[in-house]
């Protein structure tokens, strides 16, 4: 099974066998990190990192990943490039993708909520680059999906629950109030990939914070194919009952986009009123001694209490580290000679 040249915009686009191959390699890369086993996989190869939005872990982990594979990651910002936009003349996606394909072995793209005027525009941009690029396009998080985070989440659950023990375990994907007005990407990716690996999935959120109907339907079908349950709850307390993994995360209301732009202040005002929606110690007591996870950065005191985020059942730092290892595996398999 070769993954050379394959784009990664969403884990749902890849087979379970392909995802498992990435995760198995990521686990080995973690174990062999300080040996020479994978030190030349990207020898003299460059990976372009195309950042519409800033980051902490994403840039750090991709740069470290390229270095540990013997390659180089180059940071690019669209604002410093002459690219065509709705408001300005410049290079088209076709031209940019074809030229960059001559320079790099792969292109990563990160475009989130405040850099698009409507949900789905980030996905459309990545699809356009994938159409014209001769090298793999990898989502480093866009408004719809975050495949690298989804894979890191599963690697973390393999680590703490056991690889063979995910089937039938309950993942609670729960909304948290806060002032960040986050995109749907990490949450939707988690729903999709967790259901692919046989977990029961419960998504809990206040009325009106519905996610992409297509993603919800795909998650339902994934669960049905595995003989597992998918549920939607609007209860901020009882939804915790029986959970084995709790993943709290703020995400924006669908009405945050209107008139061709994101209205963050409106969403923050709305979300900050819903103070019942915080993951805290009392709610975690209703679970099956669940592990707590979050893709970070965490809005402590709003999405989750400090006691949970820094508690002994929190796996947030393990999952954050796993971003490095799954990204190494993705790059090695799609851009290297493995």
| pLDDT value, residue 165 | 94
Q: In what order do the strands lie in the sheet with 137-142?
A: 72-76, 46-51, 106-111, 137-142
Q: Per the domain annotation, does 6 fall within a domain?
A: no
User: Does residue 126 share a domain with residue 15?
Assistant: yes
* 128: containing domain: 11-145+320-335
User: Does residue 117 share a domain with residue 236?
Assistant: no
| pLDDT value, residue 338 | 83
User: Does residue 197 share a domain with residue 128?
Assistant: no
User: Does residue 326 share a domain with residue 300?
Assistant: no
User: Does residue 308 share a domain with residue 202?
Assistant: yes
Tokens of 280: 């805290």
**Alpha carbon 172 to its chain's center:** 16
Q: Which residues of the chain have pLDDT under 50?
A: none
User: Does residue 197 share a domain with residue 121?
Assistant: no
CATH of the domain at 39: 3.40.50.1370
| pLDDT value, residue 304 | 98
User: Does residue 310 share a domain with residue 222?
Assistant: yes
Q: Per the domain annotation, does 5 fall within a domain?
A: no
DSSP state letter for 296: S
| pLDDT value, residue 84 | 59
User: Are residues 179 and 219 in contact, defined by beta-carbon separation less than 8 angstroms?
Assistant: no
| pLDDT value, residue 87 | 67
User: Are residues 105 and 338 in contact, defined by beta-carbon separation less than 8 angstroms?
Assistant: no
User: Does residue 296 share a domain with residue 171?
Assistant: yes
Whole-prediction pTM: 0.97
User: Does residue 273 share a domain with residue 127?
Assistant: no
Q: Per the domain annotation, does 224 fall within a domain?
A: yes
* Strands, E assignment, the chain: 46-51, 72-76, 106-111, 137-142, 170-175, 200-204, 230-233, 245-249, 257-258, 261-262, 291-293
User: Does residue 298 share a domain with residue 230?
Assistant: yes
Total number of domains constituting the chain: 2
| pLDDT tens per residue across span 219-233 | 999 999 999 999 999
Q: Per the domain annotation, does 311 fall within a domain?
A: yes
**Percent of the chain whose predicted confidence (pLDDT) is above 70:** 99
| pLDDT tens per residue across span 73-87 | 999 998 888 775 766
């Amino acid at each position: 099974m070769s993954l050379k040249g394959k784009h990664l915009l969403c884990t749902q686009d890849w087979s379970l066998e392909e995802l498992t191959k990435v995760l198995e390699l990521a686990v080995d890369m973690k174990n062999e990190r300080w040996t020479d086993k994978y030190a030349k996989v990207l020898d003299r190869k460059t990976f372009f990192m195309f950042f519409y939005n800033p980051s902490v872990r994403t840039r750090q982990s991709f740069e470290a990943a390229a270095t540990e594979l013997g390659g180089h990651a180059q940071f690019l910002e669209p604002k410093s490039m002459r690219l065509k936009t709705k408001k300005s003349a410049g290079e088209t996606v076709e031209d940019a993708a074809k030229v960059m394909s001559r320079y790099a072995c792969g292109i990563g793209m990160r475009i989130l909520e405040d850099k698009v005027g409507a949900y789905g525009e980030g996905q459309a941009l990545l699809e356009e680059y994938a159409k014209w690029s001769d090298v793999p396009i990898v989502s480093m998080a866009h408004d719809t999906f975050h495949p690298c985070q989804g894979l890191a989440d599963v690697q973390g659950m393999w680590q703490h629950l056991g690889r063979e023990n995910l089937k039938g375990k309950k993942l609670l994907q729960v909304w948290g109030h806060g002032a960040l007005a986050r995109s749907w990407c990490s949450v939707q990716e988690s729903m999709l990939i967790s259901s692919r690996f046989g977990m029961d999935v419960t998504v809990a959120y206040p009325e009106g914070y519905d996610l992409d109907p297509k993603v919800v339907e795909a998650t339902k079908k994934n669960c049905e194919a595995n003989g597992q349950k998918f549920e939607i709850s609007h209860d901020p307390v009882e939804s915790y009952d029986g959970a084995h993994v709790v993943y709290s995360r703020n995400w924006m209301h669908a009405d945050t986009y209107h008139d061709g732009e994101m209205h963050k202040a409106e969403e923050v005002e709305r979300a900050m009123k819903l103070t019942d929606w915080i993951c805290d110690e009392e709610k975690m007591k209703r679970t099956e001694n669940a592990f707590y996870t979050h893709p970070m950065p965490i809005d402590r005191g709003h999405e989750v209490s400090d006691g949970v985020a820094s508690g002994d059942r929190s796996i947030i730092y393990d999952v954050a580290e796993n971003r490095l290892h799954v990204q190494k595996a993705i790059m090695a398999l799609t851009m290297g000679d493995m």
